[in-house]
């Protein structure tokens, strides 16, 4: 089967997580992704948090599958010359260096556009161009703070909190992938490349849009009825942290199940969807609540929503999280067990769907990684191992017309 992105050549000038997550996704879908790395060291994540001495860390292998690795010192004239050749015959260059690094290297957007007017140049930065913080280097948690996630995550009596989900890094990479694909489609029509820029702050904020919704509601009416602070607590003039509240039209909370005293993950998320009230009452053995004026409507329930959650917890006390969900699903109640990484890693459904895959690696043996979360009817993305540092240098240079002797010479001066 031909993969949709086959024939698209991508210079992957990315490192750490945001950029590599983007190019890995495009590689899964068939793009020829050539990761350009500094000779001798490569992407910093090859060495970070290593669990096996002398083997690439999982941090690297889980973000760089299906790619080739070319080592190139792009600060040396010989390295620049090779990069220029590569630019002339590639479709996309993706980078997430600190602000100005690509310009300092001599590869500004103008220069790249001059070398290859059809090329799409895609960048991740912490803040967008022209922003008053656009000179800042940014990592995941910095972006979560700058994009509104931290101030709205956690409990109201605790500090701003970071999410474990990579809202700043991988999320920005996913936005960039959409931008690149859009620019590729645009190029089919216009014949021209363009610059695609995504900032981590903007990408976090894009996922926090419901909190921007809440800010406006708060300013208009002075309260947010779905937050735990309503109706007994106080609201200030900014969206508060809502703990585990539902956040949409449905109240919800994380509820204790059998074994919570010793198992920190013996919980389910329970949602009280308005039109599921009668099934919820039947599931809990509380049919008298169905027409009780104190429980009948969402408005009537909200003032004592935490008493309702306590009653549900009493019902859950002799059920494991899995037993509880098995009962509740029969009543069509939106809920899920709180799953640990161990449970997810061993989940047979995730293995069967290719969401979690085992990949053989030249140095590590087999390792576990994520596969494509996007499923197609006519494409089964296959995950292959991340490359060793410089594994494809010779192959890529030969493809650019360099002879064995040229490659030897370039190695002598450590340009590749």
In the complex with ligand COA, the residue whose CB is nearer, 30 or 126, is: 126
DSSP 186-222: HHHHHS---EEEEEHHHHHHHHTHHHHHHHHHHHHHS
List 5, 8, 10, 16, residue binding ligand COA (CB under 6 A):
16
Stretch that binds ligand COA, among 95-103, 202-210, 228-236, 383-391 (CB under 6 A): 95-103
Q: What does the per-residue mask of binding to ligand COA show for 32-51, with x meaning CB under 6 A?
A: ----xxx-------------
Q: Which one-letter DSSP state was computed for residue 253?
A: E
- Written as six digits, the tokens of 304 are 């004592």
Query: How many other CB atoms are found less than 10 A from the CB of residue 75?
Result: 12
Catalytic residue, from 43, 91, 169, 202: name it: 169
72 is in an annotated binding site: yes
Determine if 137 is a binding residue for ligand COA (CB under 6 A).
Answer: yes
Strand-pair partners of 198: 124
Query: 């280097």: which residue's tokens?
Result: 137
List 62, 124, 324, 328, residue binding ligand COA (CB under 6 A):
124
Determine if 69 is a binding residue for ligand COA (CB under 6 A).
Answer: no
Q: Is 157 annotated as catalytic?
A: no
List 31, 138, 176, 204, residue binding ligand COA (CB under 6 A):
138
In the complex with ligand COA, the residue whose CB is nearer, 104 or 375, is: 104
Instruction: Please list every residue from 148 through 177 that binds ligand COA, using CB under 6 A.
Output: 169
Determine if 73 is a binding residue for ligand COA (CB under 6 A).
Answer: yes
How far, in Å, are 127, 138, 290, 337, 391 from residue 133 at the CA level? 6, 10, 54, 40, 38
Determine if 17 is a binding residue for ligand COA (CB under 6 A).
Answer: yes
How far, in Å, are 76, 85, 138, 326, 382 from residue 353 at the CA level? 45, 40, 34, 21, 12
Give the active site residues.
Answer: 169
Q: Which residues bind ligand COA (CB under 6 A)?
A: 16-19, 36-38, 72-75, 96-98, 101, 104-105, 124-126, 137-139, 169
């Amino acid at each position: 089967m031909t993969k949709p992105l086959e024939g698209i050549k991508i210079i992957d000038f990315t490192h750490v997580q945001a950029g590599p997550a983007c190019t890995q996704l495009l590689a899964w879908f068939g793009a020829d992704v050539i990761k350009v790395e500094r000779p001798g060291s490569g992407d910093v994540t090859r060495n970070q948090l290593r669990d096996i001495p002398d083997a690439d860390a999982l941090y690297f292998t889980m973000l760089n599958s299906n790619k080739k690795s070319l080592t190139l010192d792009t600060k040396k004239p010989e390295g620049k010359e090779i990069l220029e050749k590569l630019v002339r015959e590639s479709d996309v260059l993706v980078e997430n260096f600190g602000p100005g690094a690509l310009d300092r290297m001599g590869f500004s957007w103008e220069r790249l556009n001059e070398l290859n007017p059809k090329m799409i140049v895609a960048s991740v930065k912490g803040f967008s161009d022209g922003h008053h913080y656009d000179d800042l280097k940014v990592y995941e948690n910095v972006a979560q703070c700058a994009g509104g996630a931290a101030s709205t995550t956690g409990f109201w009596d605790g500090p701003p909190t970071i999410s474990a989900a990579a809202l700043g890094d991988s999320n920005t990479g996913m936005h960039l992938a959409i931008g690149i694909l859009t620019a590729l489609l645009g190029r089919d029509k216009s014949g021209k490349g363009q610059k695609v820029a995504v900032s981590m702050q903007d990408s976090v904020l894009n996922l926090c849009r419901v909190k921007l919704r809440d800010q406006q509601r708060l300013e208009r009416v002075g309260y947010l009825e779905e937050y735990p602070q309503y109706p007994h607590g106080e609201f200030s003039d900014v969206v508060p942290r809502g703990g585990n509240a539902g956040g949409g039209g449905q109240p919800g909370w994380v509820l204790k199940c059998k074994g919570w005293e010793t198992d920190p993950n013996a919980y389910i998320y329970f949602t009280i969807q308005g039109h599921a009230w009668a099934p919820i009452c039947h599931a809990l053995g509380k049919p008298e609540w169905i027409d009780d004026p104190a429980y009948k409507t969402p408005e009537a329930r909200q003032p004592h929503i935490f008493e309702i959650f306590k009653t549900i917890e009493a019902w859950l006390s002799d059920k494991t999280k899995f037993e509880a969900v098995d009962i509740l699903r029969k009543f069509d109640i939106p809920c899920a067990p709180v799953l640990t990484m161990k449970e997810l890693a061993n989940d047979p459904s995730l293995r069967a769907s290719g969401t979690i895959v085992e990949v053989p690696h030249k140095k590590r043996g087999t390792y576990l990684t994520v596969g494509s979360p996007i499923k197609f009817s006519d494409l089964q993305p296959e995950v292959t191992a991340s490359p060793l540092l410089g594994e494809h240098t010779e192959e890529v240079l030969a493809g650019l017309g360099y002879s064995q002797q040229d490659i030897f010479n370039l190695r002598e001066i450590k340009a590749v």
